[in-house]
């Protein structure tokens, strides 16, 4: 009888021993965020395609709806990414001495959740392009500069969000 | 099951896992450093004789984004490294857990086996 009780206790013992051993440090992957970034990127490419054929001084009103749509779309992804929690272990790691210098410009909750700030970079470039166009100062040099900035940041954003998938 | 088999399984999976993760980190780091350095050079040129020659406000905003990219780059590397540690740890736990389940299952037959919790 004791032997049977002992055997029955073994699984519970191992469960207790190992249940805390599977860890999560980084935020969870969110397919909805990834899909939203991809959809926004497609909208941005349409915007840039339209602007590349835009002669100097072309009307802002012809493109304002596209600016609004793409910036709003990225802002939806940003809101969702900001709401995504960092696991407790990741927060503790960010607070630790090991990452003290790396995380000094962010809160421990934000330090390992970098996608929102990548999205802010993307939105920043698009907003500056829109503001330049609205002021009537848009040239093809502006389009080329902001497209270059945008494309590099959009790729990095997708890479980091994709890396969270495990 | 022998412990040497468990060790070999763990090492095999870890080797594949770590190799993939280090390649991801290396590729990301190289591409992002190229992005940052090329954008810095373009920004300097545009300030000297380009779109930012007279537009201080837009130039300052572009500089702020460049600073943010450098800060984010370091934190991205920390994040990717943390992901590697996380996956390595979970691979080891998963393999050890699987071996325990296999041994208990073979010995106890009808005993309910504990399952590995999802990370």
**Chain A residues lying within 8 Å of B68, measured CB to CB:** 117, 120-121
Q: Is residue A81 within a helix (H) or strand (E), and if so which, with residue range?
A: helix A64-83
Contact B91, B13 (CB under 8 A): yes
Cα separation of B62 and A129, whole Å?
11
**Given pLDDT bands bounded at 50, 70 and 90, which one contains residue A20?**
very low
Encode pLDDT of B29-56 as tens digits. Answer: 999 999 999 999 999 999 999 999 999 9
Residue of B nearest to A132 (CA): B58
Chain B closest CA to A152's CA: distance in Å?
6
Q: Pick left, alpha or beta for residue A136 (phi over 0 → left; psi -120 to 50 → alpha; otherwise beta).
A: left
Mean pLDDT of chain A: 90
**Given pLDDT bands bounded at 50, 70 and 90, which one contains residue A75?**
very high
Residue of A nearest to B17 (CA): A166
**Residue among B42, B95, B91 nearest B65 (CA):** B42
Cα separation of A68 and A70, whole Å?
6
**Residue among B37, B43, B68 nearest A141 (CA):** B43
Angle between helix B3-49 and helix B56-108 axes, rounded to 10 deg: 170
Cα separation of B115 and A63, whole Å?
56
> Is residue A14 over pLDDT 70?
no
> Is residue B83 over pLDDT 60?
yes
* Contact between chains at B83 and A164 (C-beta distance less than 8 A): yes
Q: What is the pLDDT of residue B49?
A: 95
What is the ipTM metric for this complex? 0.86
Please, what is the end-to-end C-alpha distance for chain B in angstroms? 26
Centroid of chain to Cα B71: 17
What is the average per-residue pLDDT within A105-132? 97
Cα separation of A91 and A99, whole Å?
10
What is the average per-residue pLDDT within A26-36? 98
> Is residue A92 over pLDDT 90?
yes
**Given pLDDT bands bounded at 50, 70 and 90, which one contains residue B119?**
very low
Give CA angle at B11 (B9, B12), nearest 5°: 65
- Positive or negative, the CA dihedral B30, B31, B32, B37 is positive
Number of A/B CB contacts below 8 angstroms equals 122
Is some CB atom of chain B closer than 8 A to the CB atom of A16? no
Which of B53, B70, B82 to mutate: most A Cβ within 10 Å? Answer: B82
Q: What is the pLDDT of residue B93?
A: 87
Contact A44, A126 (CB under 8 A): yes
What is the average per-residue pLDDT within B66-80? 97
* Contact between chains at B75 and A112 (C-beta distance less than 8 A): yes
Radius of gyration (Cα) for chain B, nearest Å? 25
What is the average per-residue pLDDT within A24-35? 97
Give CA angle at B71 (B67, B75), nearest 5°: 160
**Chain B residues lying within 8 Å of A131, measured CB to CB:** 58
> Is residue B66 over pLDDT 80?
yes
Q: Who wins on pLDDT, B36 or A21?
A: B36
| Percent of residues, chain A, with pLDDT higher than 90 | 81
> Is residue B13 over pLDDT 50?
yes
* Closest Cβ opposite residue A90 in set B74, B82, B96: B82
Is some CB atom of chain B closer than 8 A to the CB atom of A84? no
* Contact between chains at A111 and B94 (C-beta distance less than 8 A): no
Q: Who contacts A151 (Cβ-Cβ below 8 Å, separation ≥6)?
A: none
* Contact between chains at B58 and A128 (C-beta distance less than 8 A): yes
**Given pLDDT bands bounded at 50, 70 and 90, which one contains residue B101?**
confident
* Contact between chains at B111 and A11 (C-beta distance less than 8 A): yes
pTM recorded for the entire structure: 0.87
- Positive or negative, the CA dihedral A156, A158, A161, A165 is negative
What is the average per-residue pLDDT within A125-152? 96
**Chain A residues lying within 8 Å of B48, measured CB to CB:** none
Q: What CA–CA distances, in Å, run from B92 to A16, A19, A140, B85, B89?
A: 17, 13, 54, 11, 5
């Amino acid at each position: 009888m004791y032997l049977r009780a002992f055997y029955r206790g073994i699984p519970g013992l191992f469960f207790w021993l190992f249940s805390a051993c599977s860890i999560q440090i980084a935020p969870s992957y969110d397919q909805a965020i990834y899909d939203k970034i991809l959809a926004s990127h497609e909208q941005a490419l349409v915007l840039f395609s339209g602007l590349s054929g835009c002669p100097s001084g072309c009307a802002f009103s012809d493109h304002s709806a596209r600016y609004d749509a793409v910036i709003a779309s990225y802002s939806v992804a940003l809101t969702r990414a900001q709401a995504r929690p960092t696991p407790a272990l990741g927060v503790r790691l960010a607070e630790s001495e090991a990452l003290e210098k790396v995380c000094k410009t962010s809160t421990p909750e934000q330090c390992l959740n970098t996608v929102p700030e990548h999205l802010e970079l993307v939105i920043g470039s698009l907003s500056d392009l829109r503001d330049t166009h609205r002021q009537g100062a848009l040239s093809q040099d502006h389009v080329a500069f902001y497209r270059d900035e945008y494309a590099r940041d959009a790729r990095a954003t997708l890479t980091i969000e994709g890396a969270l998938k495990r | 099951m022998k412990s040497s088999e468990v060790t070999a399984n763990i090492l095999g999976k870890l080797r594949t896992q770590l190799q993939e993760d280090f390649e991801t980190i290396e590729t990301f780091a190289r591409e992002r450093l190229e992005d940052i350095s090329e954008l810095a050079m373009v920004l300097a040129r545009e300030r000297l004789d380009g779109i930012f020659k007279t537009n201080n406000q837009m130039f300052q905003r572009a500089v702020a984004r460049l600073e943010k990219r450098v800060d984010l780059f370091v934190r991205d590397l920390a994040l990717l490294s943390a992901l590697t540690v996380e996956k390595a740890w979970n691979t080891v736990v998963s393999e050890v857990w699987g071996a325990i389940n296999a041994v208990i299952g073979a010995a106890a037959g009808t005993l309910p086996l504990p399952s590995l919790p999802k990370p």
